[in-house]
Amino acid sequence: MSETPRQKGRPKDPLKTQAILQAARKLFLEQGLEVTTAEIARVAGVAKATLYANFSDKEHLIEAVLRQESDLTISDHDFAQRHHLPLIEVLTAFGYRFVRFINQRELTGWDRLIASAAVRHPDLPGRFYAAGPGRAQQMLEAIIAEAIEAGTLRASDPQEAADELAGLWLGMTSGDKTWRKTSAVRRRNQTAG
């Protein structure tokens, strides 16, 4: 019979872990990935040793921040709760959070950050996708696949259905601006004509 190995050192304080993640997110968006772990620890109000006790290196910290951003769309807890709700509620909540996440002002900051950091960290865009949009897309595919299997949804390919649904949601995020411009142009043409 094997025992679960005990973790060395003190237990991790979730409040300190959250403070580190918030400080890292803020500083990454403001200064880029070149910000030092010492600066992140200072802003978080923790010792550098505490930062490294929670995250083995800066790469793991970056990944954890990206994962936290992904959780804004759907967290592991939300994903686990999907079995207890009707499909329409699950997809509506997912879509609402997806659109709200896409419309965040900071998202363009992440896009710029990932693009500029790709020169020094060529694997970062793929890791960002895997931890963020790719993870959410896989969860959406799983939700749809389960609904197809249960007979609640008719579709032949869960991946294709998830891609199309996400595409509709993405269209809603940019369509609003496009439609407003179209409406403004229409009104201008009506008053001019």
Reported as a single tens digit per residue, the pLDDT across 25-68 is 999 988 888 899 999 999 999 999 999 999 999 988 988 988 88
Give the separation between CA 93 and CA 98, rounded to whole angstroms: 8
Q: Percent of the chain beyond pLDDT 70?
A: 82
Question: Highest mean pLDDT range out of 20-34, 67-81, 103-117, 160-174?
Answer: 20-34
Tell me the helix, strand and coil percentages in the chain, rounded to 5.
75, 0, 25
Q: How far apart are CA 92 and CA 99, in angstroms?
A: 11
**What pLDDT score was predicted for residue 178?**
47
Q: Say if residue 126's pLDDT is above 50.
A: yes
User: 71 with 56: CB under 8 angstroms?
Assistant: no
Single out the residue of 138, 107, 114, 108 nearest to residue 128, CA to CA: 114
Q: Are 23 and 40 in contact (CB under 8 A)?
A: yes
| Average pLDDT for 139-160 | 93
Nearest residue to 59 (alpha-carbon basis) of 37, 44, 41, 38:
37
Query: For position 117, what pLDDT does the model report?
Result: 78
What sign for the dihedral angle of Cα 136, 139, 143, 149?
positive
Structural domains of the chain, ranges and CATH numbers in brackets: 10-55 (1.10.10.60), 70-192 (no CATH)
